[in-house]
Amino acid sequence: METVTNQLPLAAYTRVSTHGQAESGLGIRAQKRQITEAADAHGFTVGTWHADEGRSGASMRNRPGLQEALTEVREGRAGGIVCAKLDRLGRSTADMFTLVEEAQKKGWRLVAIDAGLDTTTTAGEIVAMALAMAARFEWRRISERQHEKFRELRKEGRPRGRPAVPAKVADRIIGMRDQGMTYRAIAEKLTVESVPTARSATVWHFTTVRSAEKARKQELSAQTG
């Protein structure tokens, strides 16, 4: 008989952000009490407890306690994850929605008591839908901020946080393209001449040449726009 994943005991997850909270134990104990009371009230079982003490909620990857809980679920040893508060899982709405989406697709249970999130209930699905809308808004705002930042950097002639081909080399590439040379031909010529790439290599590829041309044209357009 096949095991139904979401009927297995849940992995409980708790987190506090500061070392002071971790040393006092108050935050962890309060979260454990909330989870235990919810388990009694809603009829689910907690199988294991996982904690991240003195860990920021900015990144899910850098929290071993959460990763252990997720591993239990993904390996079929737990039916899902329960936490006292949604922000204990993470501060990023986009990360949260990714986790909700995984739970819904894989059939495991994700419960955040304070937010009323439970991927196995109708009311919880409404909360999940709200998270989806908030995540899309967050992604759009991040994208807009990045584009605005890149526009400003181009206007100033500065690289976008990564190595860039020197302007003289990029201008030369544009000139060779205007003369009808292909990206591959330009790459071969720059390689023969040992012209350094943005990362100080001396071997050029057609994709490197194309990227250098595109970035320089965007920069020039921003400066004249």
Q: What local confidence, expressed as pLDDT, does residue 103 receive?
A: 93
Rounded to 5 degrees, what are φ and ψ at 133?
A: -65, -40
Predicted pLDDT at 3: 40
Contact predicate 177/187, CB 8 Å: no
Q: Stretch 43-61: mean pLDDT, rounded?
A: 89
Burial of 187 (0-12, 13-18, 19+ CB in 10 A): buried
As a whole number of Å, the end-to-end CA separation of the chain is 67
User: How much of the chain, in percent, has pLDDT values that exceed 70?
Assistant: 78
Residue 2: is its pLDDT beyond 50?
no
Mean pLDDT, residues 29-54: 94
Give pLDDT, residue 60.
86
Kindly tell me if the per-residue pLDDT of 189 is higher than 70. Answer: yes
Please tell me which residue, 83 or 127, carries the higher pLDDT value: 83
Query: Is residue 34 left, alpha or beta, with left meaning phi > 0 and alpha meaning psi from -120 to 50?
Result: alpha
Q: What average pLDDT does range 61-80 have in this prediction? A: 95
Give 87-132 pLDDT, tens digit per residue.
898 877 778 888 888 999 999 999 999 989 999 898 888 888 887 6
Q: What share of the chain is helix, strand, coil (3-state, %, to 5)?
A: 60, 10, 30
Rounded to a whole number of angstroms, the CA Rg of the chain reads 26
d(CA 167, CA 37): 64
Percent of the chain residues past pLDDT 90, beyond the cut: 42
Q: What is the pTM of this model?
A: 0.58
Contact in structure between 12 and 45 (CB atoms under 8 Å): no
Residue predicted with more confidence, 74 or 164 = 74
Between CA 44 and CA 8 the distance in angstroms is 9
Using pLDDT thresholds of 50, 70 and 90, give the confidence band for residue 70. Answer: very high
